[in-house]
Amino acid sequence: MRSPLLCLLLSLVLLSQQGRSESAPTSPPEVVLPAEIGFITPADVQRHLVEQLDTQIIDVRTEEERRLRGSILNSLNIDHFHGQRKLDALAKLDKSKPTIVYCAIGGRAKLVALEMHQMGFKNILLLKGGFNAWTATGQAVAK
């Protein structure tokens, strides 16, 4: 009795593993950014803001992330996950002004920056390392 049950369980385990590949990706594909989209380090943001007073700062994290961890002072929250509402909010911004975009580590910000570039934004900078790098380097956080 135990042998047929063991064989059945072993067969189910083997079937569940079928089609799985050891080389299956474990992270999303790399986003290829146009050369016009640049990067800025947390340490360089303050200098940039002094030199470019009209810079827009866009936080594409969720409202929950902002509430729990804070944000960069004067940043505008445009949640990456809000689809059309996100696109509508971006469309209201001045496309000619310098714009710093950030999320927690950089993945969502890259996707939004690519959309912004396609919408005609001219001067997009991604915060290198995202908000995690911002806080790790001791930069000011608005709560």
Tens of pLDDT, residues 100-132 = 999 999 999 999 999 999 999 999 999 999 999
The answer as to whether 56 is a domain residue is yes
pLDDT of residue 12: 56
* Cβ partners under 8 Å of residue 112, min gap 6: 58, 60, 78, 80, 86, 90, 101, 103
17 in any annotated domain: no
Residue 106 counted as domain residue: yes
Structure confidence at residue 17 (pLDDT): 54
CATH number of the domain at 82, please: 3.40.250.10
Task: Using 70 as the pLDDT threshold, list the residues of the chain that sit under it.
Answer: 1-29
Residue 28 lies in a domain: no
Is 124 within the bounds of a domain?
Answer: yes
